[in-house]
């Protein structure tokens, strides 16, 4: 009995973690721009009496010319919000430790890559910077940024400490930067001794929130950290900051400076919300067809509760001659990225998806959102947060939007009422019924 339940729990947890890492990778694959925010960074200095520098240009950082060239070749004109403060801190002498949190797409990776490249001495043929990422794919992705930014600095070499990269026993690495996953990095430092941890000058732990979600990664990271010299600069990055992340961060980074950038708040203020009453899935489909012309004036996203419904709906819509894209959980991350990119480019006007797939993806031009199924959590209660994420707008995209909720039972009407009740406190306009 209970053993089975535990196993199921573990499986669910493992799936959720995989999902977190996949989501993060997906965001990286489709992101071509910085996420802008109007919020200010919050800074907590280790030594509040020391002056706090922030820079408005990359020149002010006095980077090596090869690196400045790399930065400009990537199309960066000026530091992002978080880079303005994080870069001077990371490049200061003596080195300072840093814990930084901001949502994905705000420039964290570019920042620590630049810091690592700046601290390397290319004359020294041994690992000096060590970066750990939660998964193989995420490590590769960060590696690509190192290669791009270091394009004009070919003396600096990079090696991947990831599964499958088998080196001969007795190897001593000559590359200055090592990027990998915690298990392999630990092996390379401890068991195989490819890396001499005492010579590491910069240690980066990326995606701490994804990292701690995986059993074992937390321990491995702490064991790696303990092998490093006291003088090593420790840097930790995370997109979110729950207590668990924070507790972990404090164990990895002693005497940290802390930088936080709040996520832009979403509101329902500029959204017109409607609902349609139907009696079945088929009726909902019919209702959708009736309003299809109106919703495809702009771009629309349609949310379903399960993969099965999403697949069915996309099939039915295609059969009616509508061109729709389907984003589904069984697709590989790369496939999902391709679908999202096509939708972004306007090649398809309608995207049918489940919640899991689309979480955390901002598709700016979407102005119609249809809840084919209302968002409920696993206990069948209204999922207000998801409702807000699907429909809400941040100040910066403040464009008007339209949301249509499809109700097909007493149960879903009740969910909708409770969602409405929840948001009434903040949003004055109530939902309108359409027929």
Residue 392 Cβ, how far from ligand ADP at the closest point, in Å?
A: 21
Give 308-322 as a DSSP string.
Answer: HHHHHHHHHHHHTT-
Looking at beta carbons only, is 177 or 403 nearer to ligand ADP? 177
225 near ligand ADP, rule: CB under 6 A: no
Looking at beta carbons only, is 105 or 182 nearer to ligand ADP? 105
Residue 252 Cβ, how far from ligand ADP at the closest point, in Å?
A: 18
| Closest C-alpha to 273, from 381, 153, 434 | 434
**Whether 275 contacts 416, CB under 8 Å:** yes
In which residue are the tokens 């919703």 written?
295
Q: Which residues contact 64 (CB under 8 A, 6 or more apart)?
A: 118, 153
Work out which of 70, 88, 105, 143 binds ligand ADP, going by CB under 6 A: 105
Work out which of 20, 81, 108, 217 binds ligand ADP, going by CB under 6 A: 108
277 beta partners: 407
Q: For ligand ADP, which stretch binds (CB under 6 A), given 100-108, 227-235, 357-365, 372-380?
A: 100-108
Q: How many angstroms separate the CA atoms of 402 and 350, rounded?
A: 14
76 near ligand ADP, rule: CB under 6 A: yes
Q: How many angstroms separate the CA atoms of 26 and 196, rounded?
A: 34
Looking at beta carbons only, is 102 or 221 nearer to ligand ADP? 102
407 beta partners: 277
Work out which of 63, 110, 258, 276 binds ligand ADP, going by CB under 6 A: 110
83 near ligand ADP, rule: CB under 6 A: yes
Mapped onto helix, strand or coil, the DSSP state of residue 376 is strand
88 near ligand ADP, rule: CB under 6 A: no
Looking at beta carbons only, is 32 or 428 nearer to ligand ADP? 32
Looking at beta carbons only, is 80 or 299 nearer to ligand ADP? 80
Percent of the chain as helix, strand, coil, to the nearest 5: 45, 20, 40
Residue 27 Cβ, how far from ligand ADP at the closest point, in Å?
A: 7
Q: Angle at the Cα of 112 (from 106 to 113), degrees rounded to 5?
A: 105
Q: Angle at the Cα of 361 (from 29 to 428), degrees rounded to 5?
A: 165
260 near ligand ADP, rule: CB under 6 A: no
Work out which of 70, 88, 95, 107 binds ligand ADP, going by CB under 6 A: 107
Residue 379 Cβ, how far from ligand ADP at the closest point, in Å?
A: 32
Mapped onto helix, strand or coil, the DSSP state of residue 366 is strand
Looking at beta carbons only, is 66 or 104 nearer to ligand ADP? 104
Q: Is 371 exposed, middle or buried (0-12, 13-18, 19+ CB in 10 A)?
A: buried
3-class SS string, 123-153 = CCCCCCEEEECCCHHHHHHHHHHHHHHCCCC
Q: How many angstroms separate the CA atoms of 80 and 403, rounded?
A: 32
Q: Which residues contact 316 (CB under 8 A, 6 or more apart)?
A: 285
Residue 413 Cβ, how far from ligand ADP at the closest point, in Å?
A: 40
Residue 365 Cβ, how far from ligand ADP at the closest point, in Å?
A: 18
Residue 105 Cβ, how far from ligand ADP at the closest point, in Å?
A: 5
DSSP 280: S
Please report, as residue ranges, which positions from 35 to 74 form the binding site for ligand ADP (by CB under 6 A). 74
Q: For ligand ADP, which stretch binds (CB under 6 A), given 28-36, 115-123, 172-180, 304-312?
A: 28-36
Q: For ligand ADP, which stretch binds (CB under 6 A), given 11-19, 31-39, 127-135, 242-250?
A: 31-39
Looking at beta carbons only, is 108 or 307 nearer to ligand ADP? 108
Residue 224 Cβ, how far from ligand ADP at the closest point, in Å?
A: 21
Work out which of 23, 106, 257, 273 binds ligand ADP, going by CB under 6 A: 106
Mapped onto helix, strand or coil, the DSSP state of residue 394 is strand
**Whether 344 contacts 377, CB under 8 Å:** no
Work out which of 80, 96, 225, 412 binds ligand ADP, going by CB under 6 A: 80
Residue 225 Cβ, how far from ligand ADP at the closest point, in Å?
A: 21
Q: How many angstroms separate the CA atoms of 182 and 223, rounded?
A: 9
Q: Which residues bind ligand ADP (CB under 6 A)?
A: 31-34, 74, 76, 79-80, 83, 104-110
């Amino acid at each position: 009995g209970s053993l089975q339940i535990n196993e199921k729990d573990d499986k669910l947890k493992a799936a959720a973690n995989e999902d977190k890492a996949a989501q993060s990778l997906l965001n990286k694959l489709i992101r071509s721009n910085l996420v802008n925010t109007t919020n200010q960074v919050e800074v907590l200095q280790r030594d509040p009496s020391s002056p706090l520098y922030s820079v408005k240009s990359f020149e002010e950082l006095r980077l090596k010319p090869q690196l400045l060239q790399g930065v400009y070749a990537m199309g960066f004109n000026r530091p992002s919000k978080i880079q303005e403060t994080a870069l001077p801190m990371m490049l200061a002498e003596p080195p300072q430790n840093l814990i930084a949190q901001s949502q994905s797409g705000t420039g964290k990776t570019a920042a620590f890559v630049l810091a690592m490249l700046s601290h390397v001495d290319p004359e020294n043929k041994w690992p000096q910077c060590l970066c750990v990422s939660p998964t193989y794919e995420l490590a590769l992705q960060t590696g690509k940024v190192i290669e791009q930014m270091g394009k004009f600095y070919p003396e600096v070499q990079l090696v991947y400490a990831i599964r499958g990269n088998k080196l001969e026993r007795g190897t001593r690495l000559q590359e200055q930067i090592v990027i990998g996953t915690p298990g392999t990095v630990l092996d390379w430092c401890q068991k195989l001794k490819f890396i001499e941890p005492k010579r590491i000058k910069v240690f980066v732990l990326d995606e701490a929130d994804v990292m701690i979600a995986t059993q074992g990664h937390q321990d491995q990271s702490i064991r790696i950290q303990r092998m490093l010299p006291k003088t090593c600069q420790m840097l930790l990055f995370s997109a979110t900051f729950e207590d668990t992340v924070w507790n972990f961060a404090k164990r990895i980074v002693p005497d940290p400076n802390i930088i936080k950038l709040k996520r832009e708040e979403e509101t329902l203020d500029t959204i017109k919300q409607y609902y349609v009453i139907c009696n079945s899935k088929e009726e909902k489909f019919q209702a959708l067809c009736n309003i299809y012309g109106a919703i495809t004036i702009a771009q629309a996203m349609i949310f379903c509760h399960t993969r099965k419904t999403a697949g069915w709906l996309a099939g039915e819509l295609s059969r009616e001659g509508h061109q729709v894209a389907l984003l589904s959980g069984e697709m590989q991350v790369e496939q999902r990225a391709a679908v999202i990119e096509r939708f972004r480019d306007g090649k398809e006007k309608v995207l049918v998806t489940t919640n899991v797939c689309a979480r955390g993806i901002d598709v700016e031009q979407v102005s119609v959102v249809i809840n084919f199924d209302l968002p409920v959590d696993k206990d069948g209660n209204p999922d207000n947060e998801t409702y807000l994420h699907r429909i809400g707008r941040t100040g910066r995209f403040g464009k008007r939007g339209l949301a249509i909720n499809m109700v097909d039972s007493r149960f879903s009407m009740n969910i909708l009422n409770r969602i409405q009740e929840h948001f009434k406190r903040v949003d004055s306009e109530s939902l309108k019924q359409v027929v």
